[in-house]
Amino acid sequence: MRTFDLIVIGSGGGANLVSLAYELGYTVALIEEWKLGGTCLNRGCIPSKMLIHPANVSRIIQEAEKFYIKAYQKSINFPQILKRINKTTDTESNDIKEWYQEKRKGLAFYSGHARFISNRIIEVQGEKITAEKIVIATGARSSIPLIPGLKGTPYLTSMEALRSRLLPKKLFVIGGGYIACELGHAYGALGSEVHLLVRDRALLTREDGEISKNFTEAFSRRYQVHFWTVTEKVEYKKKKFTLYLKDAEGKKSKISGDGLLMATGVMPNSDKLGLENTNISVNEKGFIKVNEYLETAVPGVYSLGDVVGNYMFRHSVNFESQFLFQALFGKQRKPIQYPPMPHAVFTNPEVGSVGMTEEELQKKNISYVVGKNEYRKSAMGEARLSSKEEFVKLLFHKQTRKLLGAHILGEEASTMIHQLIYAMTFGATAEDLLKMIYIHPALPEVIQKAAEKASDGF
């Protein structure tokens, strides 16, 4: 049985550990059964943004008339857009694979499925291997509900939606979270008639309540959203989907179209690892249980990223892998301490967020002050004809005046939020945000005005 210093299962964020350990002279094995690079490169962050950016360009052209510019789109070459995306990500994934396949002393790459046969022994490609340290970083995949008639139909998940060369004329999206809103916008702006079928009252309901409310209003003006709607049955005949629906009042209806995207959440890739042959524990949803050191219940076996589910972002698993590398090879045994964890939703309008929502503050009985300002009440917002829904919202502790949460809905939200991530990370107060000089008339003046309004409320 071959023994290594480190085995990493999964080539996404966990692969950072492989290269760092190898450079230090440790013997390392990487196991991956699919494309190298993980979710982010192959079916997540990178390809989706490569699709969303052309969609945003298309949307700008469609709405140019509000600036008294008459413009039209002669055509949208959807297959070529997807060809570019797939060529870029496949090339990068193959380059990573070629690097691992080169003969390197002390580094082994296994292309296949990993399965634990005991606490510390893994079987892959018919071979049994073990290591002093094992890291499970197998990520997550789309979770598909058991809707009668759905199985066996050519529905899309986020993976297929980012590889399909066919643009549906009429696309149904089941779900109301960030994947539904990102890909729904992308396909809609590029020419599909998009219908979102949502079980809830609004979209992006995990965001701050005002963000969710305003986003829902803005998104619903462009695309058709069916709230409080349950899909009871799916039929697929003659290349057409028919969905049988029921609303909150029990009224039934059906709709037909040529595309269906399932965006109903994700589930961890822990169910086929043979964990039943180990003492490793999972929670009721299948996420691997780890402690504050990212240790599983088996000594020497660690886990991070989406399969753990502390945070479901590439930037969070990058942080975890850096922490774990220091813990395993830097001999720094200390609990992981996450700084404020930001996120963005790259739809239209865009969302950027960090820290607590107003609802979370209320639930924890934390006294706070709100500073809120609309984009359109700034010079750049006026120049851009920003909508009434776009705004910045800052939440400060009433006594310490420190920033507890920041939420942005509007253009460049994913970029604008970074100033506030920095502020939260270093314990900035409302006054700290007002000490700096803001460039006039740049868009961050919206943040300045929101901080000013908060200062008036203490």
Residue of 53, 226, 418, 440 marked catalytic:
440
User: 64 is written with which tokens?
Assistant: 């140019």
Rounded distance, CA 189 to CA 12, Å? 30
User: 413 is written with which tokens?
Assistant: 């939200």
Rounded distance, CA 215 to CA 236, Å? 32
Half-sphere exposure of 258 (CA within 13 A, CB side): 9
Residue with tokens 């400060």: 396
Query: 230-237 and 224-226: which strand pairing?
Result: unpaired
Active site residue 397: no
Q: Output the 3-class SS for the chain.
A: CEEEEEEEECCCCCHHHHHHHHHCCCCEEEEECCCCCHHHHHHCHHHHHHHHHHHHHHHHHHCHHHHCCCCCCCCCCHHHHHHHHHHHHHHHHHHHHHHHHCCECCEEEEECCCEECCCCEEEECCEEEEEEEEEECCCEEECCCCCCCCCCCCCECHHHHCCCCCCCCEEEEECCCHHHHHHHHHHHHCCCEEEEECCCCCCCCCCCHHHHHHHHHHHHHHCEEECCCEEEEEEEECCEEEEEEECCCCCEEEEEECEEEECCCEEECCCCCCHHHCCCCECCCCCECCCCCCECCCCCEEECHHHCCCCCCHHHHHHHHHHHHHHHHCCCCCCCCCCCCCEEECCCCCEEEEECCHHHHHHCCCCEEEEEEEHHHCHHHHHCCCCCCCEEEEEEECCCCEEEEEEEECCCHHHHHHHHHHHHHCCCEHHHHHHCCCCCCCCCHHHHHHHHHHHCCC
Rounded distance, CA 230 to CA 251, Å? 11
**Sign of the C-alpha dihedral computed for residues 63, 65, 71 and 72 taken in this order:** positive
Rounded distance, CA 109 to CA 19, Å? 12
Cα distances from 402 to residues 64, 65, 362, 398, in angstroms, run 40, 42, 16, 8
Q: Which residues are catalytic?
A: 440
